[in-house]
Structure 1
Amino acid sequence: MSRREPTIYDLARLAETSASTVSAILNGTWKSRRIGEETATRVLALAKDLKYTLNRQASGLRRKRSGLIGMLIPMHDNRFFSAMSQTFERLARERHLYPIVVSTLRDPKLEAETARTLISYQIEYLLVTGASAPDAVSRICSHHGIAHLNVDLPGKLAPSVVSDNRWGARELTAKLIERSTAPRAKRRNRFCFVGGIPSDHNTAQRIEGFSDAIAAAFGSLDGVDVDACGYEADQAEASVRTLYERMGGLPRGLFVNSTIALEGVVRFLKTLPLEEVHQCTIGSYDWDPFATCLSFPLLMVRQDIPGLLGKAFEIIDSGRFDATEIIQIRPELVEA
């Protein structure tokens, strides 16, 4: 004969308290209800001993809250976004929220479809991270009354928390200039920007920062020194190969916009003599610890993921989603 599953009333009887108190403890709202920590500890221990599982769907219907929080990301197989999802899950669980992370492949239709699906599961909050069409997702969320905000890429209809891309790019470029040596060939005495999408907010801000530093050091920026060829590794590899052929060698400095683009750049650099590669000072806007294994020095910008998501959860905790300001978090410059 199968064993009967324990109920919330069983826990209340064993803990010598009310069912509503047990419910508040299990759904994480006991502190706001001013329930004592000793009682909470006793109930949670009993729930663990009895292997009690909260029916979150039923609980959500009763309380009109599900305890679910969603996050859209472009992809999982990227160190930046995988680290974002891990930090998101930790911060959500600290607040007794249950995280759901879904990749949408930078596809606006998939972003909208996924947002609608998550809303159908009664999520309470949605973090729209790196979305290609954040305002379209905002309209869907607002229509259904879902609290939401943007992370990494900003929108105009919800609060946004992003890296200070212009500052980070300016700092990286200034350091590339400082550490570089002018080559004998004048046509190679240039600093080049490779990767990203011109219409993308982050790329545009990084180009601005790159331009600021170049203009401060040399007085002008030649447009052909910027090739926002896309984020794919193959595109970056082709871009650097074309650059090499046009200049008759590598430029004085190379700014690579993302570690995805860096993969393609490294593939091309492996075809060259190492001493030639060392004549070019290289930097990447984004960080990967495996860069320490490269055979040449690499400067990197490491975005502050705890800072970005910490600020996002401050907004969630405050409940103030009406402001549409863009909050910028400064990254840090590191060397592999």
Structure 2
Amino acid sequence: MKKIQKNTIYDIAERVGASPSTVSAALNGTWKKRRISAATAEKIIEVAREHGYSANLQARALRTSRSGLVALLMPEHNRFFSNIANTFSREVRARGQCPVIITTERNPEEERTTVADLMAWSIDAIFFVGTVSPEDLSRQCQAAHIPHVFVDQPCALAPSVVTDNRTGANILTREIIRSMSHLGTGPQDTVYFLGGDQSLPSTANRVEGFRAAMYAHVGQVDPAQILATSYDMDAATDTISALYQRLGGLPGGLFINSDSVFEGTLRFLATLPQDELTACAIGCFDYEPLGQLLRFPVHMMRQRHQMLVQRAFALLETQSPPVLEMVQPELYPATQL
């Protein structure tokens, strides 16, 4: 069998009429620092792709202490985190680097171990999404001089980009209340907050926004209205089922905290008759495009994943000090779905 000769940087340089160092800078994403024009970089990348060139990442790491790998650690593969991962992957590849995406299931030990493993591969940078112990992870990265940024998770020690969860939850709660036929202080005439983890900033801030909206309308919030114990789908099914049994039916309104909780809740709601479903005003803090096909209206708060990731890259590339940027979510009322 005839052995196929691999193209090298020198082959690409000869084809485009540039120096090997210029080709190397274009392919490893450092062409801007070298003041190489975008047109030249794009031409080099295009020729490299046409001739099947691929960088030897291990050799690059040994030579430059840069592997060309950029990692994203996230809790799970729900729709929101998958959208984050897809946008991240596109942004990394556009910079001539290789994305590495890992789920850690909100396990702090798994997060620390994964970061240690990535260090062994001379990872160029790490994006943390929805982590449990942000400060510990930041210290770990700082000790190894690894650039890092947090998305959907504030960190006092590193730059962070998050959704404005408090404002978004307040707006969504008000939309739910507007859709209710009657809002009172009784257990069946009010809104319940379902799902999430109050030990995490995203849920804690959404609960604050929910409480503020409820106080503005009825002047009180019963602790029993906050059912934020888990993001788990099975737990959500059990929670809504138990609430239904306790109240003898659905409450006047439901604030469902995330698409995974929404999926778990739907398992139970699917067993109920149409009139019960339409009598309950429902909102979800996440966007599910198939929501318009449901038997009942659902208001949705869409987190802007593309802007979150793009702002995270901007903070990382400008070597930003620890700051917290907020991105406003977007309400999709049921009438617009």
Aligned to 1:153: 153
Cα pair 1:193 1:254 within 8 Å, conserved: yes
Q: Deviations over 1:262-312 (max 9, x none)?
A: 122222222222101111101111111122221000011110101111110
Count of aligned residue pairs for this structure pair: 333
Amino acid at match of 2:63: R
The alpha-carbon deviation at position 24 of structure 1 amounts to 2.2
Deviations 1:154-201 (A, max 9, x none): 222212111111101100000111111128995411111111112121
- Indicate if the aligned counterparts of 2:192 and 2:251 stay in contact, CA closer than 8 A: yes
Q: How much does 1:60 deviate?
A: 3.3
Conserved in 1, the CA contact under 8 Å of 2:28 and 2:95?
no
Matched residue, 2:247: 247
Q: Does 1:56 align with 2:54?
A: no
Contact 1:74 1:103 survives alignment (8 Å) = yes
| Paired residue type of 2:28 | N
Partner amino acid, structure 2, of 1:2: K
Q: Distance in 1 between matches of 2:330 and 2:173?
A: 13
User: What is the identity, as a one-letter code, of the residue corresponding to 2:95?
Assistant: R
1:141, distance to aligned residue in structure 2 (A) = 0.7
1:329 aligned to 2:327? yes
Alpha-carbon distance in 2 for matches of 1:259, 1:46: 42
Q: Which runs of 5+ in 1 are unaligned?
A: none
Measured in 1, the distance between the counterparts of 2:36 and 2:316 equals: 23
The correspondence of residues 193-208 of structure 1 with structure 2, limited to 5 A, is 193-208=193-208
Percent of paired sites with the same residue: 40
CA deviation after TM superposition for structure 1 residue 56, in Å: 2.6
Partner of 1:214: 214
Residues 235-256 of structure 1 show CA distances to partners (whole Å, capped at 9, x for unaligned) of 2222222222222221111111
CA contact 1:151–1:160 (8 Å) conserved in 2: yes
Range that drifts further, 10-19 or 210-219: 10-19
TM-score by length of structure 1 reads 0.92
Runs of 5+ unmatched residues, structure 2: none
RMSD over aligned CA atoms reads: 2.2
- Match of 1:99, SS? strand
Question: Is the counterpart of residue 309 in structure 1 residue 302 in structure 2?
Answer: no
Which whole-Å CA distance do the structure 2 matches of 1:183 and 1:250 have between them?
A: 14
Indicate conservation of the 8 Å contact 1:229/1:239, yes or no.
Answer: no
Report if aligned partners of 2:185, 2:218 keep a CA contact under 8 Å in 1: no
Within a 5 Å distance, the mapping from 1:88-167 to structure 2 comes to 88-167=88-167
Counterpart Cα distance in 2 of 1:88 and 1:240: 34
* CA offset digits 1:205-228 (Å, max 9, x no partner): 111111000000111111111111
Say whether the 8 Å CA contact 2:177–2:183 is kept in structure 1: no
